[in-house]
Amino acid sequence: MMIFIKWLKSIFFKTNARTIFTIYLIFGLVASFILWLPISLKEGVKLSYIDALFIAISQISSTGLTPVSVTDTFNLFGGIVSILILQIGGIGIVLLIAAYWVISGKRIGLRERNIIAAEQNQFTVKGIVKLIWNALTAILILQFIYIVLLSTYLVIKQPWQMHYGEALFHSFYLAVSGFGNAGFEMFPANNSFIVFQQQNMYFPQILTAILVFIGGVGFWPLAELTLFVKAKFKKQPYKFSFISKLFVKLHFGLLIISIVVYFLLEYQNTLVYMTPQEAVMNVIFMPTMMRSSGFYNTNTGDWTEATKIFISILMFIGAAPNSSGGGIRITTLVLVLAALNSYGRHRKQVFMGGKAIKQEAVRRAFSVFSMGVVIVMTSIFFIVLIEKVSFITVFFEVISAFGTVGLSLGFTSTLSTASKLIIMINMFIGRIGILTFIEILDNKKETINVVAYAERDMMVG
């Protein structure tokens, strides 16, 4: 028996990548089983296990796709379980385990630090414990502020004649889902933020857009924000790192581009039928959600084909690295473009933000980009074969799953079991990260005495 356990351990926990994969896989199976139990469901509602697994993977990966109505399926207990899954998935299981170690005073060894660094997409273990503590501090404070503001607003405005307990539940749910860039909600109206848009209630939309933006900017900037506030209280100077400033600039810059392009694509389509106030809110809200969160305040099926393609591109790009969002990440795209620019100019080094970037980072960027294209196109091919629906519908759905966004054209509920499995694989890979997924194949804990072989050139292009 001990030999069998040791053999299983060597398969599933031998490397950092396999450990991360196994942790998320086990958590997904446990979470799906709890959601599947009658105790989580409303009276008279039945849920197949494949749908429960789909929802669990979607919540762990902070995606937002679901084959059934979450509002009509789960009771209060199921909603609370969903909140826990979303929080754990959004922040990261490994990060939360590490936080528990810090609080309990457990010594975090080099093996554990390497796993945390791998899960959080860090290139060094230096300061990793400090990063955990400061990032969690910022996250919990931001969620608390959001809960207080939104619950108070919902009680005052009474969109569904709710009492404070209901307002608190929905605010808590949205705080966790919003920061995690998940896109899940349990509103009685069952139409995401359309109900707020129709009633000209802009405060919840603005508040949620801010939270989603912050959740997608990365844990590193959040950790440094905590250090900045602490320094201000102590009246000490603090300088943000190059990485944090770069993440914020790229994240905000792409948001501005998204707003402009979305407006140009839709100003003669969906925006025509809106009042100026509604149009402004839609143009701000939707581009904020397109790269990482599945909330929406307009009917997605009304978009033009060009808009759907543009949004698909944004979903593929995703949010910043080391954040709650998915996709190939902004820095990957920028590195690929910077590398192409350097190659065209016959430069030996790649530059980003005025800094020369290591060749290993550029190689990782091309690996992530290429693998992302392979995963997405392969998934699209098989689902088109299975479902017999239009290419753009499948294209949008698969990239939404891969980018852990959650926007849909209403296709999720009609998926066959085989297609659901393909979508789940995309969501899971989007959560653990492409590099982790690739490194699962590695069978060694570390590489020692690497041999350099003679190289030969190859015709390319």
Mean pLDDT, contiguous 10-residue spans, the chain (461 residues): 70 78 90 96 94 95 92 94 92 69 62 58 59 84 95 86 87 93 86 88 94 88 88 87 86 94 94 92 93 88 93 91 83 91 88 84 91 95 91 94 91 92 94 86 58 66 64
pLDDT value at position 98? Answer: 67
In whole angstroms, give the CA distance from residue 259 to residue 156. 31
Nearest alpha-carbon partner for 358 in 335, 378, 328: 335
Crossing angle of the two packed helices 417-432 and 391-402, in degrees rounded to 10 = 40
- What is the pTM for the complete model shown? 0.90
pLDDT value at position 53? Answer: 96
In whole angstroms, give the CA distance from residue 355 to residue 363. 17
In whole angstroms, give the CA distance from residue 27 to residue 29. 5
In whole angstroms, give the CA distance from residue 338 to residue 359. 12
pLDDT value at position 124? Answer: 54
Residue 294 makes CB contacts below 8 A (sequence gap 6+) with: 63, 64, 65, 182, 183, 184, 192, 400, 405, 406, 407, 408
Q: How many CB atoms lie within 10 A of CB 249?
A: 12
pLDDT value at position 183? Answer: 87
pLDDT value at position 126? Answer: 58
pLDDT value at position 128? Answer: 64
pLDDT value at position 458? Answer: 64
pLDDT value at position 99? Answer: 65
Structure tokens at 281: 């809110």
Residue 357 makes CB contacts below 8 A (sequence gap 6+) with: 335, 338, 349, 350, 351
In whole angstroms, give the CA distance from residue 54 to residue 57. 5
pLDDT value at position 203? Answer: 94
